[in-house]
């Protein structure tokens, strides 16, 4: 331990982070071991570069000289594309049946805005059963299995902070009805938080750095480092259906999307919804130097955000209307290729946050009232400009975007619940069921459709549905 401590100390002193171990001799062996393990897992030369680039300096967004809106496949195919959509769906279904598609959920985030204790995937999301987010995805995959006769493996990226609790949840709940061999967990890497004024790494307690997950972009490295990519290769997986953990109605695997992406021989593709208003907090799909690039809502200049199309079939629509819903299909060999170079790195995004830390002068924890720290994360969509080919598919928000991000207000459990009920109502109405609606046009009943029953309206068998839903009733289909 003494050598280990001395080596680590020397390394930290060299990069101006000596404070991390300055009090380590007061710790017991187990505490020293914990702290040293964290220190040894960090590339301190990279840390020095990051402090210089992102903490001491605030990188300004470099607006590309030419920014064009990205083209997309419309949700409803125009006549000239109808045949292609049919072929694409057939191809997507064939890839699923041949066992070439895996589901991948990034679930390593801290979910601070929601304020839920424990992994977000355990959050009870559905209107009636209060089924968890993981439960929704598991039922979806069980339905995919029953429809296509093939089990799709499910990869779940956790973080060291929620890995054990996530695995325990699956264990205690019989892997949500899935074969445990088909559910693969792996943790992402962590990144220290930096004191905003000094650039020094913060400690949350005398024996631990203040660490947080390195962003969903970390998934592209974690897939490689964890051996998940090799596991995919062994199973013959070619395409990864990437989803976030917070959207209970996401199409965990969408044959049309997988098929369009595969037909067009893309490396990584995306889904979008038309933005509801110019500065909606969604990433904007743009073209920069011939590559699809996501520009964050805060970086898109107002004048571009407000521009409208004049004339033609899309008259009046926002020119930059494609908002990202963080759903992608990614080729396995693309993730392999970007990792093969050894120095693959996505750009970091800087966020100023309130990070509790340990004050060694007072020997006490501090809960800062104002943002005191810089956190750095990478975003998965920053891999899009690395793709030679990448398509975007439009989708209807009510059909597949009901995220649970905040405790109240927009993108909260309440808005998600309303969208889930609206989608269920539409699906039932499309199969001839009369659904009561109030004066505002909202369904006047609490409706929930199990993914095990239907993952698209056509899965609903009209013969087994009620003719009418009673006003104010609760109906689980």
DSSP character string of 465-477: S-SBPPTT-EEE-
Figure out which of the listed residues 4, 23, 113, 437 binds ligand UTP, where binding follows CB under 6 A. Answer: 113
Total residues interacting with ligand UTP, rule: CB under 6 A: 22
Q: How far apart are CA 184 and CA 471, in angstroms?
A: 43
Minimum CB separation from ligand UTP for residue 412, in Å?
12
SS3 338: helix
The span from the CA of 69 to the CA of 402, in Å, is 25
Residue 110 binds ligand UTP, judged by CB under 6 A: yes
Closest C-alpha to 209, from 191, 225, 223, 226 = 191
Question: According to the binding rule CB under 6 A, does residue 283 interact with ligand UTP?
Answer: no
Site residues for ligand UTP, window 344-363 (CB under 6 A)?
none
Show contacts with ligand UTP in window 406-465 (CB under 6 A).
none
Tokens of 63: 């607006």
* Cβ nearer to ligand UTP, comparing 94 with 353: 353
Options 108, 127, 153, 274; binder of ligand UTP; rule CB under 6 A: 108
Q: Find the shortest distance in angstroms from Cβ 112 to ligand UTP.
A: 3
Is the separation of the CB atoms in 165 and 193 below 8 Å? no
Question: Which of 51, 73, 96, 111 contacts ligand UTP by CB under 6 A?
Answer: 111
Please select the residue that binds ligand UTP; options are 142, 251, 405, 431, rule is CB under 6 A. Answer: 405
**Which ranges in 98-239 belong to alpha helices (H)?**
133-148, 163-172, 218-225, 228-235
According to CB under 6 A, which residues from 228 to 257 bind ligand UTP? 244-246
What's the closest the beta carbon of residue 284 comes to ligand UTP, in angstroms?
16
- Burial tier of 412 (Cβ tally within 10 Å: 0-12, 13-18, 19+): middle
Written in H, E and C, the secondary structure of 122-162 is: HCECCCCCCCEHHHHHHHHHHHHHHHHCCCCCEEEEECCCC
106 interacts with ligand UTP by CB under 6 A? yes
Closest separation between CB of residue 214 and ligand UTP, Å?
6
* Piece of the chain touching ligand UTP by CB under 6 A; list 107-115, 197-205, 223-231, 381-389: 107-115
Short-list 288, 346, 293, 351, CA closest to 324: 293
> CA 195 from chain center: how many Å?
27
Q: Which stretch binds ligand UTP (CB under 6 A): 102-110, 140-148, 255-263, 333-341?
A: 102-110
Q: Using CB atoms within 10 A of its CB, is residue 42 exposed (0-12), middle (13-18) or buried (19+)?
A: buried
Q: How far is the CB of 374 from ligand UTP (least distance, A)?
A: 15
Sole window of 85-93, 104-112, 307-315, 367-375 interacting with ligand UTP (rule: CB under 6 A) = 104-112
What is the smallest separation between the CB atom of 408 and ligand UTP, expressed in angstroms? 13
Nearer to ligand UTP, 26 or 281 (CB): 281
Question: Which residues inside 157-216 make contact with ligand UTP, applying CB under 6 A?
Answer: 157, 188, 213-216
Does residue 278 interact with ligand UTP by CB under 6 A?
Answer: no
Task: Say how many C-beta atoms besides its own lie within 10 A of residue 346's C-beta.
Answer: 20
Residue 354 beta carbon to ligand UTP: minimum distance, rounded to whole angstroms: 12
Is residue 56 within the footprint of ligand UTP (CB under 6 A)?
A: no
CB of 250 to ligand UTP, least distance (A): 10
Query: Distance between CA atoms of 465 and 433, rounded to whole angstroms?
Result: 7
Pure H helices in 41-81 = 44-50
Contact status: 135 vs ligand UTP (CB under 6 A): no
In angstroms, give the least distance from the CB of 326 to ligand UTP.
Answer: 6
Minimum distance from residue 134 beta carbon to ligand UTP (Å): 11
Long-range CB contacts for residues 336-343, cutoff 8 Å, separation at least 24: 336/224, 336/229, 338/220, 338/383, 338/386, 339/220, 339/221, 339/224, 339/229
If one asks whether residue 109 binds ligand UTP (CB under 6 A), the answer comes out as: yes
Contact residues for ligand UTP (CB under 6 A)? 106-114, 120, 157, 188, 213-216, 218, 244-246, 377, 405
């Amino acid at each position: 331990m003494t050598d280990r401590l001395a080596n680590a100390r020397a390394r930290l002193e060299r990069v101006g982070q000596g404070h991390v171990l300055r009090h380590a001799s007061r710790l017991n062996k187990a505490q020293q071991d914990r702290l040293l393990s964290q220190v040894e897992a960090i590339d301190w030369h990279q840390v020095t570069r990051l402090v210089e680039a992102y903490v001491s300096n605030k990188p300004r967004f470099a607006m590309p000289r030419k920014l064009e809106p990205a083209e997309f496949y419309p949700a409803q195919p125009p006549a000239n594309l109808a045949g292609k959509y049919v072929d694409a769906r057939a191809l997507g279904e064939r890839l699923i049946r041949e066992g070439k598609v895996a589901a991948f959920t990034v679930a390593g985030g801290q979910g601070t805005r929601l304020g839920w204790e424990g992994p977000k995937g355990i959050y009870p999301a559905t209107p009636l059963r209060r089924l968890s987010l993981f439960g929704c995805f598991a039922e979806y995959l069980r339905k995919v299995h029953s429809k296509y006769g093939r089990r799709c493996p499910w990869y779940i990226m956790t973080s060291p902070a929620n890995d054990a609790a996530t695995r325990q949840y699956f264990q205690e709940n019989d892997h949500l009805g899935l074969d445990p061999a088909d559910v693969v967990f792996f943790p992402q890497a962590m990144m220290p938080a930096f004191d905003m004024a000094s650039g020094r790494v913060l400690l949350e307690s005398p024996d631990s750095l203040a660490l947080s997950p390195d962003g969903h972009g970390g998934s592209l490295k974690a897939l490689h480092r964890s051996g998940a990519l090799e596991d995919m290769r062994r199973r013959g997986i070619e395409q990864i259906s990437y989803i976030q953990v917070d959207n209970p109605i996401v199409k965990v695997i969408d044959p049309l999307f997988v098929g369009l992406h595969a037909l067009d021989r893309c490396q990584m593709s995306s889904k979008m919804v038309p933005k509801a208003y110019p500065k909606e907090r969604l990433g904007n799909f743009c073209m920069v130097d011939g590559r699809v690039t996501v520009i964050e809502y805060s970086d898109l200049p107002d004048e571009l955000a407000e521009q409208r199309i004049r004339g033609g079939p899309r008259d009046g629509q926002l020119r930059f209307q494609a908002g990202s819903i963080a759903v992608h299909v990614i080729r396995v060999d693309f993730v392999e290729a970007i990792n093969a170079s050894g120095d693959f790195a996505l750009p970091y995004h800087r966020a100023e946050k309130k990070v509790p830390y340990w004050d060694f002068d007072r020997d006490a924890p501090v809960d800062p009232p104002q943002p005191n720290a810089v956190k750095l994360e990478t975003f998965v969509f920053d891999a899009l400009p690395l793709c030679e080919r990448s398509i975007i598919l439009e989708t209807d928000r009510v059909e597949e975007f009901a995220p649970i991000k905040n405790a109240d207000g927009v993108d909260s459990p309440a808005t998600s619940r309303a969208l889930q009920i609206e989608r269920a109502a539409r699906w039932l109405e499309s199969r001839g069921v009369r659904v009561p609606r109030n004066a505002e046009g909202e369904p006047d009943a609490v409706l929930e459709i199990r993914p095990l029953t239907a993952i698209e309206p056509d899965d609903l068998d009209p013969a087994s549905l009620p003719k009418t839903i009673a006003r104010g009733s609760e109906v689980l289909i």
